[in-house]
Amino acid sequence: MKFAVIVFPGSNCDIDMFHAIKDELGAEAEYVWHDTESLDEFDGILLPGGFSYGDYLRSGAIARFSNVMKEVVKAAEAGKPILGVCNGFQVLLEAGLLPGAMRRNETLKFICRPVQLKVENRETMFTSSYQEQEEIMIPIAHGEGNYYCDEQTLAQLKENKQIVFTYSGTNPNGSLEDIAGIVNKKGNVLGMMPHPERAVDELLGGADGLKLFQSIVKNWREAHVINA
C-alpha cells in the first residue's frame, strides 16, 4: 500500500507522518507537494498537522483551495482512505469532506499534551484493530480544536456512528460532545485532532496510534484480496 503525505506551506507534522508510515508501519510513503495535480498512484492520502499557509484567514481555509485538494476530493469519492490530523482535519472540514467546523480552544490557549481517548466506533477502516470503547493515549497540539456542528448534524453523526473518537475524562478544548474524531458517511474519510503519528513507538511515550495505521493497511489488503 502506498501513501501520499500531503505537504502544504506551513505543514510541520509531515515528517512525523512519513516516519510513522515508512519506519513504524513498514509501508510505502511519499511526500506530495500542495500543487500536485494527480494522486492516482496512491492508495491512501494523509493530511498532516501544522499551520498550512500560516493559518491566515482561518485554519485550513486557504489550503482547501490548493490544487491537490481537487485530487483529495476525487480520491475520497473513489473510496480511498483519507486521514486528516489536526490541521489536516481542519482542511477536510473546510473542503466539505467532513461536516462541522473548528473554533478556538475554550481556554483561548494552545494545548500540547497527551490526552485519553475512547474508541467509540471500531467498525471503520481506521479503527478495526482497536476494541470498542478502548481507552488510548494520543497527544494533542492545537489552538483551534474545539469541534462544533449544529443539532441536526450532531444527530446525523450519532445516527450514522460517525463519531469515532471522543475525549475521555477531561475535554481539553471544549469540543462538542467531547468529539475528537469523526468519519464521513461513507466511512473512508477520518478527521481527528489528536496526533496518532506521534504515538507509534514506546520510545515516543506510547504506541496506541500505530493501530490506526495498521487498521488502514489491513482493511485495504482485505478489500483488494476480495476484489482480486
**Which pLDDT belongs to residue 169?**
87
The total of other beta-carbon atoms located within 10 Å of residue 1's CB is: 17
Set 34, 86, 94, 149: catalytic member: 86
Residue 195 annotated to the active site: yes
- Whether the Cβ atoms of residue 44 and residue 2 lie closer than 8 Å to each other: yes
**For residues 158 and 171, what is the distance between their CA atoms, to the nearest angstrom?**
19
**For residues 53 and 123, what is the distance between their CA atoms, to the nearest angstrom?**
34
**Which pLDDT belongs to residue 228?**
53
- Whether the Cβ atoms of residue 129 and residue 214 lie closer than 8 Å to each other: yes
**Which pLDDT belongs to residue 57?**
81
**For residues 137 and 205, what is the distance between their CA atoms, to the nearest angstrom?**
9
Set 94, 120, 144, 197: catalytic member: 197
Burial class (CB in 10 A: 0-12, 13-18, 19+), 156: middle
Domain hosting 52: range is 2-227
Residue 86 annotated to the active site: yes
CA torsion through residues 223, 1, 91, 148, sign: positive
Question: How many distinct structural domains can be found in the chain?
Answer: 1
Set 19, 34, 142, 195: catalytic member: 195
Residue 132 annotated to the active site: no
User: pLDDT 10s digit of each residue in the chain, 228 long?
Assistant: 999 999 999 999 999 999 999 999 999 999 999 999 999 999 999 999 999 999 888 899 999 999 999 999 999 999 999 999 999 999 999 999 999 999 999 999 999 999 999 999 999 999 999 999 999 999 999 999 999 999 999 999 999 999 999 999 899 999 999 999 999 999 999 999 999 999 999 998 899 999 999 999 999 999 877 665
Report the CATH number at residue 156.
Answer: 3.40.50.880
